[in-house]
Structure formats: C-alpha cells, structure tokens
C-alpha cells in the first residue's frame, strides 16, 4: 500500500524548477530564432522594394527625357517635390549634385506628405544629374544642362557627360575624382544617378566615410555592397541606380528622337 502511494505522489508531483527552466530556455531560443528569421525577411523585402522603386524612377526619368528633350532638374528642400530651376533666360538647375528625385515632374507615386519620392523606409530618394554644358547658343536653352534639344543645341551623338563619377571607396577620392584603384565609372559615362540612403538614412556618423561622400555637393559618389559599422569606410547600405549616356541615346533613337 505504501509503495502504491509513493508511486502516485511521484506521478502527480509535476515538473521541478530545473525542468521548467530548461523548457523555458528552449521556448525562448525557438522564439528568438523565429523573430530573427522574420526580421531578416522583412529587411530583405524592404531592400528589394527599394530596388524596385529606384528602377521605376529610372524608367520615368528616361520617359521624361524622351518627351521633353532633357533630363529633369533635381528637386530641392524648397521645391515641394518638383524640379527646381533658376528663373530667367539661360535657365539652369538650382542644384545638380545635392537634390532629390523630382517626383511631381516625372509622375512618381510613392511620396511623403511634402510630395517627395521616398524609399521603403520613408527616406527621400536622392537624384543627381550631369552639369556638363552641351555646347553654346541661345540664352533660352539650358546653358549648364545635361541634355537639350532646342535649335541652338540639337541632340548630337558626340555629346558626352564629363563630371559624375562613382568610386568603390571614399578613401583617396577628391571632390572631382576617385582614387585610381577605386574607379567604378568614368566621368564620361553617367548622365544621372538615383539612390536611396538605406535604412539608416545616412545618419550622422563621423566614421561612415563612404556614406558621407554621398551627402556632399560634388559629382563624386561611392557605391559598393552593404557593409557593417565595423568595416573600412564605416556602415554602408546606400542603394544606387544610374543612367548612362549610351542608354539614354539608345532610348532616344528607339523613340525616334534621334538620330
């Protein structure tokens, strides 16, 4: 009888504190793994969605060039998401290397409350355009503009840009050129660059030299694969898309604007 009672007490005594602790640790580990997986999936989805937004912007910029005979000027913080131009004859862009995507001018739809194009994280998408002069002529044309199709400066396949460059690192770069070993594109290749400042939004970071290079007002930019905060050049998660002069001319030829 006593043996039967002892067995009954052992059967109903439940888990010990040690056993409960082990179970809780296992559950916490499984939940942590699940949350990490979900977080990684969300970040990948945000990255891919921003990539799609940049490609969409690129297509709209090319469409604008076909219709208007030029690429649009960048928006500024005071232009409400539209391109910003100087007034009067010889009209030019108010900025070339430190502006935003002109969402209103090109019909881009993902915008913030101010009318500015944004990436998946809500950061305003940046846009820069070549400031190469395309010949001389009438004061009515864009005298310091990337492309123009007016009578004084008709489209010509000999026209090439000469300012925008992309480097693989800010190390050794100047305000006009990359270090010789870090050149990604030559200065006669790009007519426009569209980029997202990534999840971190190019936050103030004294050691993030590669990202800081993209926040200046010069034609030299840095692009490479994402890197963590401890990497050379600091944390980097900017995403880029660009338009080459060859691609622009190919689109214009296909649309019948050139030869």
Helices and strands: H and E segment counts in the chain: 5, 7
In degrees and rounded to multiples of 5, residue 118 shows phi and psi of: -130, 155
Output the average pLDDT for the chain. Answer: 81
Q: What is the mean pLDDT of residues 168-177?
A: 95
DSSP state of 192: E
DSSP state of 163: S
**Does the global pTM surpass 0.85?**
no
Tokens of 139: 């004061």
Q: What is the mean pLDDT of residues 161-185?
A: 94
User: Would you say residue 141 has pLDDT above 50?
Assistant: no
pLDDT, tens digit, 9 for 90 and up, residues 62-78:
999 888 777 888 999 99
Q: How far is 222 from 183, CA to CA, in rounded Å?
A: 9
Q: Where are the domains of the chain?
A: 15-254
Reduced to 3 states (helix: H, G, I; strand: E, B; else coil), residue 238 is coil
Q: What is the mean pLDDT of residues 127-140?
A: 60
Q: What is the mean pLDDT of residues 41-56?
A: 91
Q: What is the predicted pLDDT for the residue at 137?
A: 38
pLDDT, tens digit, 9 for 90 and up, residues 200-258:
887 767 789 999 999 988 999 999 999 988 888 899 999 999 999 889 888 988 988 76
């Amino acid at each position: 009888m006593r043996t039967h009672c002892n067995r009954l007490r052992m059967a109903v005594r439940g888990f010990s504190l040690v056993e409960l602790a082990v179970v809780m640790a296992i559950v916490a580990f499984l939940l942590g793994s699940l949350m990490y997986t979900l977080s990684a999936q969300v970040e990948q989805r945000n990255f891919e969605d921003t990539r799609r937004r940049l490609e969409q912007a690129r297509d709209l910029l090319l469409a604008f060039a076909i219709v208007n005979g030029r690429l649009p000027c960048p928006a500024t913080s005071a232009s409400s998401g539209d391109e910003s131009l100087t007034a009067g004859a010889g009209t030019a862009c108010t900025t070339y290397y430190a502006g935003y995507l002109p969402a209103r001018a090109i019909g881009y739809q993902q915008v913030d409350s101010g009318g500015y194009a944004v990436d998946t994280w809500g950061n305003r998408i940046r846009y820069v355009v070549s400031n190469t002069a395309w010949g001389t002529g009438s004061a009515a044309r864009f005298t310091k503009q990337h492309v123009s199709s007016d009578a004084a400066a008709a489209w010509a396949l000999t026209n090439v840009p000469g300012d925008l460059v992309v480097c693989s690192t800010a190390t050794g770069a100047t305000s006009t050129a990359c270090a010789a070993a870090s050149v990604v594109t030559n200065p006669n290749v790009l007519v426009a660059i569209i980029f997202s400042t990534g999840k971190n939004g190019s936050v103030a970071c004294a050691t993030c030299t590669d990202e800081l290079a993209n926040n200046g007002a010069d034609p030299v930019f840095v692009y490479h694969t994402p890197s963590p905060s401890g990497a050379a050049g600091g944390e980097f998660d900017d995403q880029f898309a660009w338009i080459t002069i060859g691609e622009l001319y190919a689109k214009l030829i296909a649309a019948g604007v050139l030869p």
